[in-house]
Amino acid sequence: MTAPARLGQVASHLGGTKASRTQVGVKNPDDVVIVKALRTPITRARKGGFKDTTSEYLLGTILRGVVEAAKIDPALVEDICVGNVCPPGGGATTARMAALYAGFPNTTSVQTVNRQCSSGLQAVVHIAHEIQSGMIDIGIGAGVESMTQFYGPKHKMIPDTLSEEVMAAPEAADCLTPMGFTSENVASDFGISRQRQDEFAALSHQRVEKAQKEGLFDAEIYPVKTKIIDKDGNKKEIVVSRDDGLRAGTTAATLGKLRPAFSAEGSTTAGNASQVSDGAAAVLMMKRSRAAELGLSVQGKLIAAAVAGVPPRIMGVGPAYAVPAVLKKAGLNINQLDVVELNEAFASQALYSIEKLGLDIARVNPKGGAIALGHPLGCTGARQVSTLLTELRRQDKRVGCATMCIGGGYGMAAIFESEH
């Protein structure tokens, strides 16, 4: 089956979704609201400000930061769900350690989740579901990744031995396609040129550069005091308060000089793909009625979330199918999204998704995205929530969407409403 035909089949599967009970513009005591969403800076793996900082320290720091910013007793938080992708053992033990270090009592439970690049957003949605069901009153959805620690040739993500029977199943072997090659598949299948990819990547850097100069990230970032080892082997204390992946002055022309990273005839390069990075984010949530009882201000609310499967060999198209699914659940149309935070895993898939959805690029990643900021896998989805809500407030807009593609062949999307 051709890629367009398979995507048509995927679209047909999304037709039966029901509208969400949570509505834009309507306040309900049972709404799941976000009291505070914060993130650490995002830094370059093995080179940036967190190169000598462990994932549990990053996570513990942002967990402490989000409750401090909200002025809430950590003991009131009943469950924490942490998205991460690379750590051994699913990061379960180190996540628990991070929460205890952050000052949460041992009565606050912790779990981890891995839905690849959407893990942070899945963690947020998972906590929202626990609150909606009455399982808990207050929870935190978070995400963390130290790609310095756990990503690269020395760290196995796939078992050495796989079942021959499973590998023989249609599309199963495609799940092993390296992400860079899935980008090449999207570019070749849908005619996305190298020039357009480089132009999009340059725009990401230009937007981040402008946003940093204007201090637009300050409201979403929680500075991190940590230690770093310099080139002479000396350990010193620093405060990391800014993202450091930006390459100032980047243009399509400079990016055009880079060699393809995955195929001699390809178009995906280190310059038009997301960066390998370290970072953490956390989103504190509860029912609106509980926030009112505690006298807490509300930053926004979750309207709806959706996932959609797509062919693994072109996993990057996922947002083009997850976004329509979540819009249907929310009873909205694409033109009602004021801001869209679309994870820039690769310029190829971001461009495909933007064009397939008919989005105005001015509304997509207005402060830049993962090509310039970086993509710490488990962190990104939770990071997007903080970025989205602060940007909606800055623009005095209301409705936004966070979305991303997912390795293995999926897309995820969630709609939020700002209540600034």
Q: What is the pLDDT along the chain (420 residues), one digit of tens a residue?
A: 556 556 665 555 555 444 447 999 999 999 999 999 999 999 999 999 999 999 999 999 999 999 999 999 999 999 999 999 999 999 999 999 999 999 999 999 999 999 999 999 999 999 999 999 999 999 999 999 999 999 998 888 888 899 999 999 989 999 999 999 999 999 999 999 999 999 999 999 999 999 999 999 999 999 999 999 999 999 999 999 999 999 999 999 999 999 999 999 999 999 999 999 999 999 999 999 999 999 999 999 999 999 999 999 999 999 999 999 999 999 999 999 999 999 999 999 999 999 999 999 999 999 999 999 999 999 999 999 999 999 999 999 999 999 999 999 999 999 999 999
Is 405 an active-site residue?
Answer: yes
Out of 117, 205, 379, 401, the active site residue is 117
CA angle 82, 84, 88 (to 5 degrees): 115
- The residue whose two tokens read 């991303």 is 404
Residue 308: per-residue pLDDT: 98
What does the alpha-carbon distance between residue 374 and residue 275 come to, in Å, rounded to a whole number? 4
Q: What is the separation of C-alpha 203 from the centre of its chain, rounded to a whole number of angstroms?
A: 19
Beta carbons of 365 and 204 less than 8 angstroms apart: yes
Contact 30, 289 (CB under 8 A): yes
Report how far residue 286's alpha carbon sits from residue 298's, in angstroms, rounded to the nearest whole number.
10
Instruction: Based on the residue annotation, tell me whether 401 is a catalytic residue of this protein.
Output: no
Note if 375 is an active site residue: yes
CA 242 to chain centre: 18
Q: Is the CB of residue 386 less than 8 Å from the CB of residue 350? A: no
- Is the torsion defined by CA of 133, 136, 141, 147 positive or negative? negative
Beta strands in 199-267 (DSSP E): 224-229, 235-240
Q: Which pTM does this prediction carry?
A: 0.94
- Quick one: tokens of 177? 């396609």
DSSP-assigned states of every residue in 308-359: EE--GGGGGGTHHHHHHHHHHHHT--GGG-SEEEE--SBHHHHHHHHHHHT-
Burial of 111 (C-beta count, 10 Å sphere; 0-12/13-18/19+) = middle
| Cβ contact 342:354 at 8 Å | yes
Considering 81, 86, 401, 405, which one is annotated as catalytic?
405
Catalytic residue among 126, 375, 379, 401: 375
User: What is the b/e burial string over 319-333, where b = at least 16 CB atoms within 10 angstroms of the residue's CB?
Assistant: bbbbbbbbbbbbebe
Q: What is the pLDDT of residue 11?
A: 58
Distance of alpha carbon 179 from its chain centroid, rounded? Answer: 16
